[in-house]
Amino acid sequence: KILDKYMQDFQQRNPTLKVFSAYLHMDEATPHLHIDFIPYTTGSRRGLDTRVSLKKALAELGFKGGTRSETERNQWVAAEKERLAEIMLQHGIEWEKKGTHEKHLSVLDFEKKERAKEVAELEQTISGSKKELSNILHQQIAVGQETEQIRKESETIRQEVSELSVTNLLLKEQAETLAEDKEKLLSENKKLEKQQKKLQQEINKMVQSKEDMERNIHVYDEDVKWQLAESGALMSAKAYRDKKALPLVEKLKEVVKNLTIKCVQLAEQCRKLTVKVDGQQKQISRLTDKVMEQSDTIDRLQEKAIDLGRLERHLGREQVQSIVERSKAIEQAEKANKRPKRTFEMSR
């Protein structure tokens, strides 16, 4: 029905195309028409009035050529397709235009079209490449940031290891100093023990002297030789004084003098011992404070040593040792740079 309707209007639409036969083929996969016509034009100024000419016949129908792709024939074919599509739509069939029927393009137009496709593909490829390049740049920036972060963390770790290495050296030095101080303390302790024993002996002597004096006092009260004898019946007062009283008084004077000297000596010894004991007490207090201070230092150093052990477990002993060696080399180089350089002038 569609093709029949199309054929009925064909001659009316195309008066300059004289149809002399039309065949409808229904025995093939796709129903189709074969239309045979002769294009002609009239009113020619030269020669015959009526001539066969497709271009002029189509021009009279309103199809005028433009570019190579927009020829009269291509325009007419497109118009006929649109008419066929209208008839199909009237019967509920829509024409799906796929753009696959451009068979008669010129070589130049075909090449232009192919180049346009290639350009479009290249632009798409370039766009994809730009996106990939942008992604790569972003990845490079991210990698650079991560590298910088790793570098900063490595620098921080290097500084910490350097500080720990310095602390470790201080630990060793202070451990040696502590060992020396310990030996000194032990030696001083032995000296203090000897001095304490000596003081104890002197105190014992003083106690013994006190006991001796107490015993001597009893002797003075009880011994006959320290008692004033009775005078004889025929002894005069002068004789009693010279023979009995004065010798006893002289003897008592000598004893009192010796006792006074002994008391002065004991008092001086007691004063010296008191001063010595006070000095030893101060020395003991000073040594005690020093021991407490060194104990605190040992605790801090042990904590630093524990931190160094943690770092070795985290990074590995070899890496920590490598960082320590590099830190030592850097410190030695800095010390060498800080040393004043002497300039020696060589005279010929």
Residue 248 has pLDDT above 80, yes or no: no
Domains in the chain: boundaries: 2-104, 138-335
- What values do phi and psi take at 345, rounded to 5? -90, 125
What average pLDDT does range 19-29 have in this prediction?
Answer: 87
Residue 103 has pLDDT above 70, yes or no: no
Residue 346 has pLDDT above 50, yes or no: no
Confidence of residue 344 (pLDDT cuts 50, 70, 90): very low
3-state helix, strand and coil shares in percent for the chain, rounded to the nearest 5: 75, 5, 20
What average pLDDT does range 170-175 have in this prediction?
Answer: 76
What average pLDDT does range 291-317 have in this prediction?
Answer: 81
Residue 306 has pLDDT above 70, yes or no: yes
Tokens representing 155 are: 């620098």
Residue 161 has pLDDT above 80, yes or no: no
Q: Return the C-alpha torsion angle 236, 242, 244, 250, nearest 10.
A: 160
Question: What is the identity of the amino acid at 45?
Answer: R
What average pLDDT does range 41-50 have in this prediction?
Answer: 84
Asked if residue 154 lies in contact with residue 304, where contact means CB atoms within 8 angstroms, the answer is no
Nearest-CA neighbor of 265 among 198, 204, 195, 206? 206
Confidence of residue 18 (pLDDT cuts 50, 70, 90): very high
CA 285 to chain CA mean position, Å:
47
Residue 41 has pLDDT above 60, yes or no: yes
- Top pLDDT among 162 and 88 is at 88
- What values do phi and psi take at 22, rounded to 5? -150, 135
What average pLDDT does range 275-299 have in this prediction?
Answer: 79
Distance CA 265, CA 259 (A): 10
> Residue 341's pLDDT is what?
55
Asked if residue 109 lies in contact with residue 69, where contact means CB atoms within 8 angstroms, the answer is yes
Residue 161, judged by CB atoms within 10 A of its CB (0-12, 13-18, 19+), counts as buried
Task: Read off the pLDDT of residues 219-241 as tens digits, 9 standing for 90 and up.
Answer: 666 666 666 667 666 777 777 77
- Half-sphere exposure of 342 toward its Cβ, with a 13 Å CA cutoff? 2
Distance CA 17, CA 19 (A): 6
> Residue 215's pLDDT is what?
65
